[in-house]
Structure 1
């Protein structure tokens, strides 16, 4: 009665044993290969030391056109914003009062000349009489004194005529320099004053321009220390090149050179004044424009460059992944300077011979082994993932 049940139980046990044996014999999946990366070997080289500072454009010459006589402005004789030449008339001031003053001093000069001529005749007449003792020597000396007084009056009247003539000429206000004229600061009918020096307009020369900027005393001290230690080689101080980055991010096509370096530190800003001169034939640079000056302040003979894509910038600083022992990735903090082309200038944190991971960073974790791609092959980021074989 119980034998069929026994056979059935044995059959189930045998089948379970076979299933367990089949499961226990399955092989574990292979571990994934280490990610493939490309590296950049750090090699010291001559690197231009670029210092970037904000600056403002200034006209190379600026003339303030001010009133030199009192009067009423009759006309504006130029177009605002146009180019003017040196000596060109810009404003006309009512000259009638000035012309009347000139006529008055000219009359005074004529009277002084007549008095001087009369005094000269008296002296000539007395000269013969004093020789014949017809008059006293005292009368002759008084005639000579009268002549000298008359000649002094003539000189004084002549100077007054010259002054009045100058004032009349100043009634026509001219430009002292050639350049681009500014807006008129006075209108027709305005009263201008010589004592107050009423500003009428300005004229600026912008075919060449200055760019003014300042560098902190701490940065200047660091540069001087680097020069003394040999970390920085500075060529002729009179030929320090400067390039400009405009507000839209473009680079100004022409190179300028430093022409002024202040020897004192501004107590309010803590900076030293610097100035560079730039050619501006197309007048792309205008006074007051904001720019960024990139000063080529010598070269660093042991500089290091790292591709931009290898550097991660965060709030706590910059880091790179380097190859450590056993081709394991290691995160390392570095200090970076300016960008040059597509590379960061590294000032601290790396040494010659370090291998910095450039491509394949998205697959790499610190402490993870990596495989270095062969030189000349496609970067890991460009390798396409092969489709899995169909089953």
Structure 2
């Protein structure tokens, strides 16, 4: 299989507290020789000051002083590294249950998720929660790393037991590709280098799998969606009659001359020109930022969407959504929130909680209508104006929303349109 050296793989790490995520990433960076000399010297000095023998690998990711003082990772830490075969962005998310919202943030753009399981403890609630979120966010690859195999004497039977535990509940998830690796992040087994302590494992190391994963584009190339962010009316003689609609192409391809519709009004026209800066191009595709002009004088404003006449999203004021409640305060019954969908901003209300999901069993809880921090539920939303939406599994960009508390301007929930 030929790997494109310029390919970028985004992956997120998740697991429970003390499962060894920071140590794993540190090992990945250290053994792949992706650490700068000054970083190595700084971490070596800090490790010695703390009385550690050798280099504390976790310090390569716990870059903030507050994190080091508390001994925990408290935010999503993004790390970048490159190997001869591929470029990587790692989103290291906290394991504490109160930071599940960070997992949602870190995983929202990921091509793969690495979930850690402590070999001593096996599958626990956080394992199920993070796996469910990965499935919900439609992440195509899930790599389950059974860590701390050195603490169970590299026992093959224990590894197989955890695989059985995981498969028992994951059969209810829509996971396309799940792989299992026995590792010891602390000792370096099967992270970058093949382990000599587990000859019974014949699969690839974590780095080998990350380097060879097939990266399928998550951009929908069929449905043309262009959300207008602003209207350009330059105040100079050269562009006196110019009226451009600027934004980013969410999906599909637009060409000069294409017949398009402007939603929600439904008026139709043809694309007159497409500009990137001062340059005029004949076509635009995701994720290009461009300005379009139309042949007809139509009232178009921020929040409108330009689509193909024969391929339009659903136009609705009421819809079902899988919602992850992120805020410390519970949802207020029938309260108004600000809904952000592409460039469309308006008020919305949670009309009904259809059911909540029991993270341990994935059963539906229909008699509990309260939404608290970390709850995942199917809800009905009602907006003040129609939105132009696709299902999240068809289009990440037009199938996702966030809710914002109007009084505090804090993000309280993230959702995927069903």
Q: TM-score, normalised by structure 1?
A: 0.22
Q: TM-score, normalised by structure 2?
A: 0.21
> Bigger relative contact order, structure 1 or 2, given CA contacts below 8 A and separation 6+?
1
Greater per-residue helix proportion: 1
